[in-house]
Chains A and B, each alone.
Chain A
Amino acid sequence: MFSVFITGMDVFSVILLAHLAGAIVSVGGATMSDALFFKSVKNRHISGDEYKLLHEAGKVIWSGFTLAILSGIGLLVYQYVVGGEVTYWNNAFFQAKLVITCAILVNGVVFHTKVLPLIKNHLGDDMREEELSEKFWLFALTGAISIVSWWSVILLAGLRPDFPVLFILNIYLLIIAFGSLFGYLMLTHVIFDKKEKDSNQKKEEKTKAFVWTAVAIISWIVLLIGSIYIWIS
């Protein structure tokens, strides 16, 4: 019966299926993990149960990651055995995928050795405690790297853009920078904002934040257009 099921499936299809399954599990886990984190900290502390969920989500991501890596190596080996060479190396999108996969690995190690233990040591504590709040940047950075990297890998595999590897990585880093900045500002200015504020103060701060953001964005756009103009002329 089993042989009937796999009839028509060649080795390549099986390895590719495993690769896709690993990627799907990992991307799903990373997306869920980030959403779970923001949901958990809404009440300004992380409970034991919430920590367990985050920990379990991490296990799911690692399982998917391992499956994706092993099957990815399998695909390369298969191409080498069948074709005598690995042509993937020459593709910029594949090189970018490799770099991003390494970033995922390093980010995962940092998350499990720095971030999760920190949360574990402060279960139930107010997250505005100095030791935790000082590390908000790390929370934002690892979160952004995780989600952006996983989705980047999926998009690269699906779209196979015909751009130089540096161009792809530049965009990737730019999205991470924007994402981590957004995550950090969410943590410090929205979720863990000052305790006591009246509505007027909040309104005033929101207006200030809006004005400064607009000024920053307009400045960068002017700088960008100016640079392009100088470059062209």
Chain B
Amino acid sequence: MVQRQRIFARAAVIAALLLVRSTSADVLPDDRADLFYSKYSGGGMDITGESVLVRKKFTENFAVEVNYFIDKVSGASIDVLSQASVIKDERKQKTGTVEYLHDKTTYTASYISSVERDYISNTASFSLSQDMFGDLTTVTLGYAKTNDKVGENDGTAFVPIIDWLGHAQTSSYSAGASQILTKNLIAGVNLNVIADSGYLANPYRSIRYVDSQSAKGYSLASQVYPDTHTSTAVQVQAKYYLPYRAALTGSYRFYSDTWGVIGNTYELDYTHPIRNVWIFEGRVRYYKQNQANFYSDLFPFNPAQNFEARDQNLAALDNTTIGGKITYAFLPDGWKMFKRATLTFDISRIRFNYLDFRNIKYYGLPEYQPGTEPLYQFNATVGQLFMSVFF
């Protein structure tokens, strides 16, 4: 719950945008069904996710996709250690998508509903994808609108009392192009502008400020966020087919927003199949951002400025991911209505380093005066196991 406010609205938008990217003009993808399980462990949190996806073409020009995702979170994050109760929460997300192909244009519309007891999010999205220049170029344009209802649980994890705090709206505009450069090389560029307004703070996180009246030397207070937020992200990527049968992908993303956060993401991915049975994939990713201009780990007094935040997502941070993925293809000759099937295991290890967010575990220990505690850092492991059948 603590880490998940604001997050879910974003996730819904991202999921909507994913539909944009998974759409290919010219021909609709194969029918498929996926059963998915995931587990995240890190920073005191355990999150499990289960999902089912079914995609069906009713004609060569018309397809429907439905997806149900449920995730359950439990544990005690660093925020919980300072103030809140035990975390135990569940989120259910339903997505429905329709796709229509006309000549070289694919139109996609989707609706996403995400519900947890203290956060309700609904997203509608539309995109179109067009092949042009002898199918060397694919251009995609997308729009998504999200409405969120933001609450706070004033009760306990087991007996919730929800205080609804406000609403937030998000508009996402995306444009992208994918370009065949040679018979071995394809490149892409994606632009995404997202504008939020309304209640944008995470009610479960607090600022802290110097307070000589407190035994600890500081006190906690509510965060105060601007009620608007606009971000721009641009990603460039390229994928190269190596002289033997393998692929190398490189990408870079630049991010900037009106809160002063600037982020840079670098990723490298290597994919290596063995016959038509196994696909091995390895990846490294590095991300770095500076802090938002109204963020501080410790304010000198309260209120020290109009807007105040101590959300770790807005701190200066970097993280490094090393991951691998193994896909095993079975039923090569099909079985009954199924053409083929795959089983995939994916695992990532992420190291998070915060550069100006201090570890509250040390709050109140005499050897650590407020603002001198060790910086927060943790490792997370993300595992996924899923089966896909194509029919």
A binds B: no
- Measured CB to CB, the residues of B under 8 A from A are none
- Measured CB to CB, the residues of A under 8 A from B are none
